[in-house]
Structure formats: C-alpha cells, structure tokens
Structure 1
Amino acid sequence: MISALNQLVDLVEEHLTDELDVATFAKASGTTEYHLRRMFSSLAGMPLSEYARRRRMTVAAADVVRGEDDLLSIAVRHGYGSTEAFGRAFRAVHGAGPGDVRRDGGPLRTQPHIRFRLTVEGSIPMDTRIVERPAFRLVGHAARVPLIHRGVNPHIQRLVAALPPQEHARLKSLGDTAPAGLLQVSDDVDPDAAEGSPLTYLHGVALALATPVPGDLHAIDVAAGMWAVFRTAGPFPRALQEAWAATATEWFPSNPWRLRAGPSIVAFLERADDLSTATCELWLPIEPA
C-alpha cells in the first residue's frame, strides 16, 4: 500500500494539468479507488483531490511570479478555461489572487511533494477480530451531517440529545442481530473523507432482514460481507478516533485486507453516564486485498 500511494503521488505530478484517472490506477495496482482514496486521506491528512489542487497551484504560482506569460495563457496551461476560474482556485490555495501575487511576489503557500514512508510502530497490539456477516439492516433515526475528524460532532450530539430516554430504550429493544446494542452509523461517506463533507449519520440498531421495520424509523440495507472489528476503551470520543486513525497507519498496511464501500459502525459495550469514557467496537467493512 505504501508503494501504491507513492506511485499515486507521482501520477498526480504527471497529470497536474489534466484529469487524474484514479480508478484505472487503482485497478492496475490491485486495489480499489475507494480504499486508495480513504488511505491517502487518512495518512496525508487531506483528500487526494485537495492535494492535487494544492500541487497544481504551487506549480502555477511559479509561472505567475515569473511573469513571462499573460494570466489567461497560464490558466489554460494548468487546465482552466478562464482567468476567473483560475483566479478562484489560486486564491483558495494562496489567499491572494494571481494579479496580486504577480505584483507583490506573494503571499504564496507551497504544497511540498508528499512521500509516504513506513515507520516501525505497532508496539501496542490492536484488539481486532474478523467477522463474516450475512446481509442485515440498520434501523434508527438518521440525518445528513458534516464529517468532523476530531472531537465531538455537535450535529450528531444534537440529534442524539433530542431523543427522549424512552426512545433509546425502544431502539435497544428492537435490535436482534450483531452488531448488538445501540449503534452510531456513518454511511455514504465521501471516499476522500474530507473534513466537513456530508455523510448520513444513523443512531439505531441492527435488525435481521426478516424483521419488520417500524414506519417512523430510517433504514439502511447492508450487504453480506466481511468486517474488521476493533475494540477500543478510554476517553470518548478521543480513544475511538485514535483507533480509527490507527487502522490506516498500522492495521491496513500490515494485513491483507482493504476497505470496501459500506457503513462504518460504532457499537457501545460500556459507557459512563456522561459518556466521558466508553468501551466500543468499531466495525469497518473489508474485503481481501
């Protein structure tokens, strides 16, 4: 995976002025676009699309500062059909328009060429098991919310807090298959996993496909397949978020599995009354690499 990511970075450099065909590259590398984008985002700290945009504007800035060509020629050379579109992209990266930078020489925000390297970590074993599950259904209360990587997501917090205690008890009584208990479900996540990108959050339980779904609840059908289940314990949500990050930096590079499309699920095994600490299981859909 580290080698594939570095080859992908090289491919970005080769296609700074045209469209990057990630799907074809992923297939040739023996993986999937979904897994490649998720691993890049987790390890680089930014989506692949954002890295490509920053690199494109870093190279374009050199052309702007040199002043040998007019701005329209530079815009076209870097894949933009107008100076307006180029100017918006340039300003989003550098914080100033190309005309201002040409006049003042800056400000410029350079995106270095990323290289991924394998470091020896993993001194603490990850509590993991592999589970094969038939198709099932996730049922509960759902909403579209922005993705937040660190800390409590206030949009999710408001959704859950608005449910009365008896509704939590009702949901828990409905669940009849694994993962057991009350669940936090993230579905329809952008493969780049960009901060602030929309996802579907569901607070609910897992049901067998034959179990009727109450009419007032949302439902997500989940295909049969393999799951990696990571057990975490400690301050919530920090311990869970750190374990999630470690799946990308440690577990996936060390194991013959890759992410497949599907919801990620957090099951609560134990929790403090104020949710300051919790023991959880993180369920990630996987397939052989």
Structure 2
Amino acid sequence: MAAAEKALWFIESHYSEELSLGRIAEVAGVSPFHLARLFQAMTGCSVVRYLRARRMTEAARRLAGGAPDILEVALSSGYGSHEAFTRAFGEQFGMSPASVRERGSVAGLALLEPWRTADGASVTLAEPRLARDGTRFIAGLACRYTPDTTQGIPAQWQRLMLHHAAALPKRRTAFGVFCNSDDEASFEYIAGVDVPGFGGLDPALGTLRLPAREYVVATHHGHISAIRRTWQAFVGDWLPRSGLRVADAPDFEKYSADFDDAGGIGDVEIWLPLQT
C-alpha cells in the first residue's frame, strides 16, 4: 500500500484528533519530508492544507445540519478553542460558523471531498470458505453512498466513535454492512456493532436484523485502505469462477478482535450471502 494512500486513510479516520505531519508520516511508514513530497504530487496540496480543508468541510456540514454547540464542533474538528476554529473556518470559507448554521446550507462553500486514490495492483486472494451465521442485530451509524463516494466511509466510522460510542455496548464485534441498494447503484452502509437486541438503543442509531443464512467468506489481510482491492479480487474474479450464486441480501465486513483502528491494520472478513 502506497504511503500517500495510508496517509489519506489515516487523515479521513482521525481528522478530529490532534494530527501533525510527523504522526501522519509515522503511520504511513515514511519520513515527513518524503510524505510531504508524495502527498503534494498525488493531491496537488500539502498535507496540512488537505487536513484543514477536510476538517472544515465536515464541520460546515454539521453546522448546516443544525449542530447546536459550535464549541463542540470545534473540539471534534481538532481545534482547542472557539476562537481558533472560527478563525480557521473564516479563512477557509469566508464566513463564520454561526452564519453557516443560521442559513442551514453548505451551498456555495468551497468544500473539499475525500481524495479518491487509484485502485492499484491486484491482490492474491486466500481461498474463501463457506460458513453459516446465526441471526445478528446490528446497530450503528447509517449513511448512503454510491460506488464513487465510498471514500467517505472512514469518516463515518469516526463520527460513530465520536458521537455515538457511549450508546453502544462495550467490547462488541464491529461490522460494516452494505444494504438497501437501488437501481442507481447507491446503497446504505451501516458502521456499527452487533447487539443483543434493539430495545433501549439511541433512536438516532440505524438498526438492521440479519437473519441466519449461508455465506461465502474471504479475508482481507493488511491495511484497511486496500480492502477495495480484496473486494475486487473476491467478487470480480473468484466469485464468477466459483459457481456460487449470491443472494439479493445484505453483505458485510466483519472486523477481527485485534483490528487496530488507530493504524488501520488487521484482518477483515468479507461475508457474501448465498442463494439457498
């Protein structure tokens, strides 16, 4: 996995934290000097400028959606004070956070969407296995995507941990569920955990019941930012040759217990439902 791609993933999934070029470079496995050159060549802007623009973009969306506390938005955007956040926000968009919240829209703002990296080289897929899974109840944060906007998923996980973690059971297995697709190829993605049931949960959380059924399972090894390539090898190459038929039902990614959400390293299983 290219260093710049690792850096992009880390920024997208940790932009609310206090990040420095040195910390991002450490995760990417290169020196700050080399990361700066690689990042500029790939995105056309510096690491610091990209990080600030992404923070401001997500903050603007929250404010336009009616976030009641500007200081909380500032803190979750990596700023230590209302004043510092307001100054940076004004430099980015030419208006104050309060103005964006009052008008309730991001129309006309120079938003920066997550940079989409190249697909890169294919991966060698370990032989998938057949498995049966029992009924599961999934609760988490639900968002809708198209195949061209999935780069927003790391930020969705971050929002779940920042704003909804207290409402979820501790030490549960993490799942990323793809469901509710339409004829335009858009789909709903639920970043969540398995729960005993839906009673008593925060009503702001999305929920989904996965009935017991048969699946075919492949495992992604390595950095999470390369999982798209494992999906391509599994669904685009191995599955058509397998003779198996996938059902029109939710599929999901299941994160291993030792998955490192800070570094993005660890095994992730991809579960595809089979026709019976």
**TM-score, structure 1 normalization:** 0.45
Instruction: Mark the structure with the bigger radius of gyration.
Output: 1
